[in-house]
């Protein structure tokens, strides 16, 4: 059995999309363990003195639609009055004990495969600032509404032994947790990390959430940037994600097939971004351009 809970604040303006993103983000924790979500309880914080109940109904409808797509029943929930909207799920799922993905189970020589693009934190910041293009908002919204069910299934089929979803700690922060648990080094090719179209330019002009800056500081204790990786790229690799993809540790022999299957089955921007290696000392992440 897998139990998890996650709650987020709005990253987009549309209430139905917000509810759906909140649900997908919560369900992701189960997929990140190689599990299958089954039932959930909803939670919503809502400013009833500022927004109409029609908006609340839209948030709940978005949550319900995503859960229905995942085959998850929302069997109850709780709503409170809150100054800032919040939404999420407490999720119960199941996982095969012999195939559970733990941070401790990554292996030397495995390929690191990322199943979604990076940049939703910067996109959210740009939306709040009014500088996000409509194309970027659509692309980021569609990606955040996408479940990680396909990524989980492909990983299980092709021998992934460990993984994590890439969410609030950013790619580098979540990878830090994984390598420290498995006592391995990671080599990341920054140019191979998929980005939402337009986020690099936004980051380069200063559209960076405070959380992403804190993530970079958190990861910096284990990260070595090789070949003078620029500051914008460093911050993007630490960008705090909402409903991000999975980072899968897959046998080298299955890496190319895993990427192709992911792309064929709807994870269009999935990419191999690096390799796990034996550590020369304490575990470290080496980021190349």
Per-residue model confidence as pLDDT tens digits over 33-88:
999 999 999 999 999 999 999 999 999 999 999 999 999 999 999 999 999 999 99
The predicted-structure confidence for 112-146, as pLDDT tens digits, reads as follows 999 999 999 999 999 999 999 999 999 999 999 99
Query: Is beta strand 86-94 parallel, antiparallel or unpaired with respect to 2-8?
Result: antiparallel
- Predicted confidence at residue 141, as pLDDT, reads 98
Domain boundary among 43, 62, 94: 94
The predicted-structure confidence for 233-261, as pLDDT tens digits, reads as follows 999 999 999 999 999 999 999 999 999 99
Domain boundary among 32, 61, 94: 94
Q: Which CATH number does the domain housing residue 28 bear? A: 3.30.1330.10
- Predicted confidence at residue 248, as pLDDT, reads 98
Residues 42 and 166 occupy one common structural domain:
no
Domain boundary among 94, 122, 141: 94
Domains contained in the chain, number: 2
| Residue-range definition of the domain harbouring residue 155 | 103-288
Residues 61 and 148 occupy one common structural domain:
no
Distances (CA, A) of 68 to 20, 73, 130, 206, 261: 11, 7, 32, 38, 24
> Residue 227 pLDDT more than 90?
no
């Amino acid at each position: 059995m897998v139990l998890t809970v996650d709650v987020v604040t709005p990253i987009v303006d549309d209430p139905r999309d917000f509810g759906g993103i909140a649900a997908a983000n919560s369900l992701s924790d189960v997929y990140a363990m190689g599990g299958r979500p089954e039932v959930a309880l909803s939670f919503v914080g809502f400013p009833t003195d500022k927004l109409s109940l029609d908006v609340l109904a839209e948030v709940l409808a978005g949550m319900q639609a995503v859960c229905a797509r995942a085959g998850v029943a929302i069997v109850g929930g709780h709503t409170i009055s809150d100054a800032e909207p919040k939404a999420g799920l407490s999720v119960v799922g199941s996982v095969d004990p012999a195939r559970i993905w733990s941070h401790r189970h990554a292996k030397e020589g495995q390929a690191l495969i990322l199943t979604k693009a990076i940049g939703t934190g910067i996109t959210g910041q740009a939306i709040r600032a009014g500088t996000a293009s409509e194309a970027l908002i659509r692309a980021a919204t569609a990606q955040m509404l996408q479940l990680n069910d396909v990524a989980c299934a492909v990983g299980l089929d092709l021998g992934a032994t460990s993984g994590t979803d890439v969410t609030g700690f950013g790619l580098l922060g979540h990878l830090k947790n994984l390598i420290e648990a498995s006592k391995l080094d990671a080599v990341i090719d920054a140019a191979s990390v998929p980005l939402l179209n337009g986020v690099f330019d936004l980051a380069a002009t200063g559209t960076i959430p405070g959380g992403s800056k804190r993530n970079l500081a958190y990861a910096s204790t284990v990260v070595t940037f090789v070949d003078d990786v620029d500051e914008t790229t460093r911050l993007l690799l630490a960008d705090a994600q909402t409903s991000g993809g999975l980072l899968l540790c897959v046998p080298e022999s299955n890496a190319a097939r895993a990427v192709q299957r992911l792309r064929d089955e709807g994870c269009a921007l999935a990419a191999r971004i690096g390799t796990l290696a034996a550590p020369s000392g304490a575990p470290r992440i080496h980021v190349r351009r």
